[in-house]
Amino acid sequence: MDERFYWLALKFVPGIGNAGYQRLLQYFNTPENVFQASKSELSKIEGIKKSSISAIVNFNLDDKVHRELSLIDKYGVSLITIKDPLYPKNLSHIPDAPCLLYVKGTFREVDGWAVSVVGSRMATHYGKTVTEKICRDLAKRGITIVSGMARGIDTAAHCGALIGGGRTIAVLGSGIDVIYPPENKGLYERIVENGAVISEFPMGTPPYSQNFPIRNRIISGLSLGVVIVEATHRSGSLITAQLALDQGREVFAVPGSVGSFKSMGTHRLIKQGAKLVEHANDIIEEIHPFYQVGEQFQSHPEDKKLNLTPDERTIYNHLEAYPMHIDELARKTKLSMGETLSLLLGLELKGLVKQLPGKMFVRTQ
């Protein structure tokens, strides 16, 4: 019998959660031994209900397990168990670690140096820009970025890691064969090639809303710290922050505008003691104090590398990640409207500035 059969079979037994699964493994060593045990032996395990014991002894979900194995093989998915040497060490230390992970891609030892980045699905341009930059800089320093592949901040976090040439891990709130949101199909494939997409949910599981708070413990559990970007005062990202604290992880928060309701949750975290993050070094010095940080990440790129003219530098330095109207920019720089527009076009062609609707402009780096 395929060893995977028993691991999946025990997962499908009603009433056996992660804690119960782990207690059974501690006593019987393997899932196969669990199914060979008698009722009297199984009753010795604390917290295992009589109904679950009967379901183990009289297991009748063989067809369901075989269908699952067929789908796993069809989609090229790996099953990694909590006893597997490849199982992430950080995750194995949390109390309710999943005993079985569905994985596309690979785990590597370097993923032990991981940081999770989560935040609003309805992120602002500022939130996405600062997330991408921080994750890009972390990835360049060998830090793996973990997130949930949701719209907004999650997507920006994964993209930043990929732009930085690093590794990234996506934790899904659906079956691993269910790409959500669907527009992230291309991102999903890039993550598989440069890290891993993982799930604890069976194949074909839809992205039910109740799945996401459950998966959040894995996002925080994989990492040494969690960075929150643009969380409202009732954001689900605050659940991840609390889980991180419960797991003994560091909590970081990126500040936003004092007038933005989208950052009320992150500002509250900062008031409660979360470390304020302006750039990647703020994170690295906490999770890896002996890491040789070297050069500081600058909020402004070096002019000599960008070949900025004096007027371009003036425009660029007045712009922010928050949108600014061209009229305000011309007033602040004391340049004519024609000069301002021409300089903005040049900066946009260099990839340093982006135009938004309503003649609003923002920095992209």
Q: How high does pLDDT run on average in the chain?
A: 91
- Side-chain-side CA neighbours of 10 within 13 Å: the count stands at 29
Question: Is the Cβ–Cβ distance between 205 and 173 less than 8 Å?
Answer: no
Q: What integer pLDDT is reported at residue 122 of this predicted model?
A: 92
**Residue 306 above 80 pLDDT?**
no
Pairing mode, if any, of strands 353-356 and 324-325? unpaired
- Going by C-beta distance under 8 Å and a sequence separation of 6 or more, which residues neighbour residue 60? none
**Residue 291 above 70 pLDDT?**
no
- Going by C-beta distance under 8 Å and a sequence separation of 6 or more, which residues neighbour residue 271? none
Provide CATH code, domain 3-74.
1.10.150
| % of the chain beyond a pLDDT of 70 | 95
Cα distance between residue 340 and residue 327, in whole Å: 9
Helix or strand holding residue 72 (H, E): helix 62-74
pLDDT per position as a tens digit, 36-92: 999 999 999 999 999 999 999 999 999 999 999 999 999 999 999 999 999 999 999
Query: Under the phi-then-psi rule, with left for phi > 0, alpha for psi from -120 to 50, and beta for the rest, what region is 115?
Result: beta
Secondary-structure class of domain 303-363 per CATH: mainly alpha
- As given in the structure block, the two tokens for residue 346 are 């040049």
Cα distance between residue 284 and residue 320, in whole Å: 24
Domain coordinates of the chain in residue numbers? 3-74, 109-168+214-287, 303-363
Give the pLDDT band of residue 297 (cuts 50, 70, 90).
Answer: very low
**Fold annotation for 109-168+214-287:** Rossmann fold (3.40.50)
Give the pLDDT band of residue 2 (cuts 50, 70, 90).
Answer: confident
